[in-house]
Structures are given as structure tokens and as C-alpha cells.
Amino acid sequence: MVKSIGILLGGIFIGAVGAEIVSKKCPDVIDSIYANASKITAGATEAFKKGYASVMQSQPDAKPSV
């Protein structure tokens, strides 16, 4: 268990250092990745809202069982 946690923390540290190196060397790459991720997230949110609204409108109201 301790070994697994150590590997996990080491991976997080190496990932953070790698991200800092890439952001200092190529800041345009990070900005483009962030912009693309924002577009994808906005699209997924809009699709979820439309799907949820269409499902909720198509269901009839439940009758009380009392």
C-alpha cells in the first residue's frame, strides 16, 4: 500500500514538473489545449442540457399512489 502511494505521488510530481517545462517552453500549446478543452466541455454541457430537457418533457406526470 505504501509502495503504491509512493508511486502515485511520484507520478503526480513528475507530471507537474513536465507540465511546467512544457508551459515554459511552449506556452501556445497549453493555451490551445485549454481552448479546445473549453469548447469540448461547453459542447458536452449543452448536449446534456438538451437531452435532459427532452427526456423530462416526454415523461408523463406520475400519479400519486395514495
- Angle of CA points 51, 55, 60, to nearest 5°: 165
In a domain? residue 29: yes
Query: Is residue 64's pLDDT more than 70?
Result: no
Average pLDDT value for residue range 34-59:
90
What residue numbers bound the domain in which 30 lies? Answer: 2-56
In a domain? residue 63: no
Distance CA 20, CA 14 (A): 10
In a domain? residue 8: yes
In a domain? residue 49: yes
Looking at the 3D structure of the chain, how many domains does it have?
1
In a domain? residue 41: yes
The 3-state DSSP composition of the chain as helix, strand, coil percent (nearest 5) reads: 85, 0, 15
In a domain? residue 19: yes
Query: Is residue 62's pLDDT more than 80?
Result: no
pTM of the model: 0.51
In a domain? residue 25: yes
Residues 29, 22: contact at Cβ < 8 Å?
yes
In a domain? residue 52: yes
